[in-house]
Amino acid sequence: MLSKAIQEALNKQVQMEAESSQAYLAMASWAEIQPGLEGVTEFFYKQSDEERVHELKLIRFINERGGFATIPPLPQPMITFQSLRRVFEEFLKHELQVSNSINDLVHLSLQEKDYATHNFLQWYVNEQIEEERTARVLNDKLELIGDDKSGLYLFDRDIMNYRGPNKGGGKGGH
């Protein structure tokens, strides 16, 4: 049985995962109307789907543990961006916020001696390590490219092959 504090914190994480899904959906929609960003578009549609899976996993866990998962109203995410660099800066910023929230949840689960929740959250801890690394690597690549259009073309082409270090990518995460 979940304590009230754990249930509330997990429901807050449900909201964060839902907001992440919406944010990445908005990034995908923005990218889709920019010329030549088909790879970036698909990358963010996929990221949005992943975040929804994370949300559903939390909802099921809360309910299975005798709690009540609530489905939150969502604020409007940022829908326009000044540049592709700005999109990926927001992506990294968002992943760092999610990591901080997961860390707070892990801490709370230990304080409450809720080891089942602590164990469950380890999947999210590992997932966030991968997500942060992906966001950092992609930001670094965009910084290297600068305003080079041929570099941007290659970035867009290659982004769908970038799967991160533990998601089937080879050496270096490619």
- Here the tokens at position 74 are 């969502």
pLDDT range class, residue 162, cuts 50, 70, 90: confident
pLDDT at 161: 81
Domain count, the chain: 1
pLDDT at 100: 98
pLDDT tens digits, 99-138: 999 999 999 999 999 999 999 999 999 999 999 999 999 9
pLDDT tens digits, 43-94: 999 999 999 999 999 999 999 999 999 999 999 999 999 999 999 999 999 9
**CA atoms of 58 and 121, how far apart (whole Å):** 9
CB under 8 Å, gap of 24 or more: what pairs does 34-39 form?
Answer: 34/84, 36/152, 36/153, 36/156, 37/84, 37/156, 38/156, 39/155, 39/156, 39/157, 39/158, 39/159, 39/160
pLDDT range class, residue 164, cuts 50, 70, 90: low
Cα dist from 141 to 22, 66, 67, 145, whole Å: 25, 45, 43, 6
List the domain range (segments joined by +) for residue 55: 4-173
pLDDT at 174: 31
Mean pLDDT of the chain: 93
pLDDT at residue 160 tops 90: no
Environment class of 161 (CB within 10 Å of its CB; exposed 0-12, middle 13-18, buried 19+): exposed
Q: What is the CATH number of the domain that holds 61?
A: 1.20.1260.10
pLDDT range class, residue 163, cuts 50, 70, 90: low
Instruction: Decide if 138 contacts 162 (C-beta within 8 A).
Output: yes
Angle at 74 between CA 68 and CA 50, to 5 degrees: 80
What letters, b where the CB count within 10 A reaches 16 and e where it falls short, cover 104-120? ebbebbeebebeebbeb
